[in-house]
Structure 1
Amino acid sequence: MNLVSIRIITANIERLVPFYEQITGVQAIQYTPDFAELKTSTATLAIGSTKTLQFFGGENIAQPAENRSVIIEFIVDDVEKEFERLRDFISSYIVQKPTTMPWGNKSLLFRDPDGNLINFFTPVTRESIEKFGSE
């Protein structure tokens, strides 16, 4: 079994898709006005409007902008460079500037416009670098 995708349900897909394109540098594939995907080499971030919930049984299946338990994580080559690149764009969404965590990653935490928590991280200790196969 492999995890291939995480899907965010949003009430404002027109705002969220460009936000993720900007922070990841990945061009979204917009299949319909209500569904897009940003594909990376390891997984896909899908973004669906609330209208897509009808296919799963109705709008009570998921609530947009209500997540307080999941962190969307992206491994990046240099979290400090990403912070400098995005500083102005994410300034109102920053939760924590780049900080080295006890488990060996330097992490930048911020939220997307719907309030979902995002972690950009770079392994910095020997153990963390070995875990992720980074150099």
Structure 2
Amino acid sequence: MKFHATRLLVKNFHESLAFYREVLGFSGWQNDEMEYAYFEEQQLALFARGRMVNMIGEGDHMSSSQCILQFEVDEVDHTFDMLRNKGIHFITHPTDITEWGSRVAHFRDPDGNVIELYQSIRK
């Protein structure tokens, strides 16, 4: 498992995007429809909090989350099984999110921080 990015869950995607691009000078790619941006050099992503809430399906439980730690793995399903066998309770099971080009699964650390296992499925 290797660290991929910190994903900030932002209230106002366009305001945050302008801040990181125009004020801090970060460059990267964005998808306005998905309200997602990625600054590869900084290993930082922005994502609309409401969209993440919808993806994970936790409603109010996600409202206090400010970020997600994202780890890239070779096979999400294998890592999911390994961690579940160690007692990890997953928020989501391995799922293909084709619009992200990713297969993902989510769980929380002991302090409640969301961790995403990520596998690229782009071809």
Smaller-chain TM-score bracket: 0.3 to 0.5
Instruction: Name which structure has the greater RCO, CA cutoff 8 Å, separation 6+.
Output: 2
TM-score, normalised via structure 1 length: 0.41
TM-score, normalised via structure 2 length: 0.45
